[in-house]
């Protein structure tokens, strides 16, 4: 015969819940015990602050009496001078400059009275195609082809006789070729000298040599003196030891 128990009086039914509640209560009590703090009564100062008392400072009122402003100066009496009109002003009448169809306009200057001055244009003809090349002194009386050879030979001789190597360029070891372009104008004078080379010192010396060229007989095209450009290279070479 089995013994039957009433499930309502079974103590193990809610044992887990009761254990959890008890554990939480014990943890709460333990935490409060650990966090509890005590203080010595002698270190606590108890004071009473009375803020009901109001401090009133009596600010004395000082009256400053400013002196009265000075009276305004008396205005000088206004004097009105009557001037009689003596000069008579003439009115300028502006006439209309508009013309009508019936009005004949006469020319002020006739075309015949105007002198037109002809300005000769300076023509520049290359050295290779000009009819008569510039004549270097000493090349007179030659044909055009012979005059060209004589011109080139005289130019080379002039450069050799007047060549002077710049001392600064010589010390620095500067050398190279300088291209010189100049124009023999209608008066036979060398002008408009332009140079291009490796250094300014060499260009300056090349321009100096060309600037002292003698005056020539100018080149001619169709019987008129013209400008003739000419270019020549000048070599600046250091002598090897």
Q: How far apart are the C-alpha atoms of 141 and 124, rounded to whole Å?
A: 24
Whether the predicted model's global pTM rises above the 0.75 cut: no
Query: Average pLDDT, whole number, for the chain?
Result: 77
Q: Which residue has the tokens 């030659």?
A: 142
- Per DSSP bridges, beta strands 176-184 and 228-236 are antiparallel
pLDDT of residue 145: 87
Give the domain ranges of the chain: 144-236
Q: What is the pLDDT of residues 67-122, one digit of tens each?
A: 566 677 776 666 677 666 666 666 666 766 666 666 665 655 565 655 656 556 67
Which of 81 and 200 is assigned the larger pLDDT?
Answer: 200
Task: Provide long-range contacts, Cβ within 8 A and 24+ apart, for 20-28.
Answer: none
SS3 state at 166 = coil
Fold observed for domain 144-236: 3.30.1150
Q: How far apart are the C-alpha atoms of 24 and 30, rounded to whole Å?
A: 10
| Token pair recorded at residue 125 | 């003809």
Least confident residue range of 5-9, 134-138, 209-213, 237-241: 5-9
Phi, psi dihedral angles at 11 (to 5 degrees):
-75, -25
CA 197, 176, 164, 134 torsion-angle sign: negative
């Amino acid at each position: 015969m089995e013994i039957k128990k009433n499930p309502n009086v079974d103590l193990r039914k809610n044992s887990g819940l009761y254990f959890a509640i008890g554990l939480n209560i014990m943890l709460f009590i333990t935490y409060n015990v650990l966090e509890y703090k005590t203080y010595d009564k002698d270190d606590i100062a108890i004071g009473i602050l009375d803020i009901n008392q109001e401090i009133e400072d009596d600010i004395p009122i000082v009256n400053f009496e400013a002196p009265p402003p000075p009276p305004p100066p008396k205005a000088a009496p206004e004097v009105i001078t009557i001037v009689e009109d003596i000069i008579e002003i003439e009115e300028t009448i502006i006439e209309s400059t508009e013309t009508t169809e019936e009005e004949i306009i006469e020319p002020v200057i006739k075309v015949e009275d105007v002198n037109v001055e002809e300005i000769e244009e300076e023509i520049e003809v290359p050295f290779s195609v000009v009819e008569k090349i510039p004549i270097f002194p000493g090349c007179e009386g030659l044909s055009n082809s012979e005059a060209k050879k004589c011109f080139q030979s005289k130019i080379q001789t002039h450069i050799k006789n007047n060549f002077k190597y710049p001392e600064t360029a010589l010390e620095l070891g500067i050398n190279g070729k300088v291209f010189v372009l100049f124009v023999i104008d209608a008066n036979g004078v060398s002008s408009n000298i332009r140079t291009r080379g490796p250094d300014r010192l060499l260009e300056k010396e090349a321009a100096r040599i060309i600037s002292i060229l003698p005056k020539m007989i100018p080149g001619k095209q169709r019987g008129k003196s013209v400008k003739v450009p000419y270019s020549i290279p000048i070599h600046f070479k250091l002598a090897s030891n």
